[in-house]
Structure 1
Amino acid sequence: NIKGELPPVQLIGSWANQPSLIDAFVEKYNIAIDKINSLGYEQVHTVFTIHSIPAESLERGDFYDKEYDSTVKAIVDRIKPYRWYQAYQSQGMIPVPWLGPTVESVLDRIAKIGSKPVLIVPVGFVSDHVEILYDIDIEFSEYAKSKNLNLFRTESLNHSPLFIEALASVVWEHLV
Structure 2
Amino acid sequence: MTNSDPTQSSPIEGSPTVLFASDAASSGAPHIETPVAYDGVLLAGFGGPEGQDDVIPFLRNVTRGRGIPDERLEEVAHHYRHFGGISPINAQNRALKAALEAEIARRGLGLPVYWGNRNWAPYLEEAVTDAAAAGHTTLLAVATSAYSSFSSCRQYREDFARVLTETGAGASLTIDKVRQFFDHPGFVEPFVDGVRAALAGFIADGIAPSAIRVLFSTHSIPTADADRSGPRDVDFGEGGAYAAQHRAVAEVVMAAVADVIPGSAEAVEWELVFQSRSGPPTQPWLEPDVNDVIAELPSRGVQAVAIVPLGFVSDHMEVLWDLDTEAMESAEEAGIRAVRTATPGVDPAYVSGLVDLVEERLHGTPAAERPHKTALGPWFDVCRPGCCENVRAGFKPAVSGVAP
- Identify whether the pair has TM-score above 0.5, normalized to the shorter chain: yes
Separation in 1 of the partners of 2:301 and 2:251? 26
Separation in 1 of the partners of 2:289 and 2:249? 18
Question: Shift of the alpha carbon at 1:87?
Answer: 0.4
Taking every aligned residue pair, what percent have the same amino acid on both sides? 27
Separation in 1 of the partners of 2:317 and 2:229? 28
Greater CA drift, 137-146 or 1-10? 1-10
The yes-or-no answer on 1:72 pairing with 2:250 is: yes
* Structure 1 residues 26 and 59: alpha-carbon distance in aligned structure 2, compared to 1, 3 A threshold: closer
Aligned-residue CA RMSD in angstroms? Answer: 2.0
Separation in 1 of the partners of 2:280 and 2:189? 35
Which of 177, 180, 191 is 1:14 aligned to?
180
The yes-or-no answer on 1:173 pairing with 2:360 is: yes
Which of 121, 128, 137 is 2:315 aligned to?
128
Partner of 1:50: 218
Partner of 1:29: 195
Whose RCO is larger (CA < 8 A, sep 6+)?
Answer: 1
Separation in 2 of the partners of 1:141 and 1:59? 30
Amino acid at match of 1:141: M
* Structure 1 residues 61 and 153: alpha-carbon distance in aligned structure 2, compared to 1, 3 A threshold: closer
Structure 1 segments of 4+ aligned residues over 4 angstroms from their partners? none
Question: Shift of the alpha carbon at 1:13?
Answer: 2.9
* Structure 1 residues 83 and 115: alpha-carbon distance in aligned structure 2, compared to 1, 3 A threshold: closer
Partner of 2:346: 159
Amino acid at match of 1:79: V
SS at match of 1:21: helix
Partner of 1:139: 326
Which of 222, 227, 238 is 1:59 aligned to?
227
SS at match of 1:45: strand
Question: Shift of the alpha carbon at 1:172?
Answer: 1.7
Number of residue pairs aligned between Structure 1 and Structure 2: 176
SS at match of 1:10: strand
Separation in 1 of the partners of 2:227 and 2:322? 27
The yes-or-no answer on 1:89 pairing with 2:275 is: yes
Compute the TM-score of the two structures, normalised by the length of structure 2.
Answer: 0.41
* Structure 1 residues 124 and 59: alpha-carbon distance in aligned structure 2, compared to 1, 3 A threshold: closer
Q: Summarize deviations over 1:85-127 as a string: whole Å, max 9, x none.
A: 1101111133411001111232133221135110001110121
Q: Note if contact 1:111-1:149 (Cα within 8 Å) is conserved in structure 2.
A: yes
Question: Shift of the alpha carbon at 1:148?
Answer: 1.4
Compute the TM-score of the two structures, normalised by the length of structure 1.
Answer: 0.89
SS at match of 2:177: coil
Separation in 1 of the partners of 2:183 and 2:345? 18
Greater CA drift, 1-10 or 43-52? 1-10
Structure 2 alignment gaps of length 5 or more: 1-131, 136-167, 231-240, 259-264, 364-404
Separation in 1 of the partners of 2:280 and 2:359? 38
Separation in 2 of the partners of 1:173 and 1:123? 24
Q: Summarize deviations over 1:41-62 as a string: whole Å, max 9, x none.
A: 3422111011110001133344
Structure 1 alignment gaps of length 5 or more: none
Partner of 2:287: 100
Question: Shift of the alpha carbon at 1:156?
Answer: 2.0
Question: Shift of the alpha carbon at 1:17?
Answer: 1.2
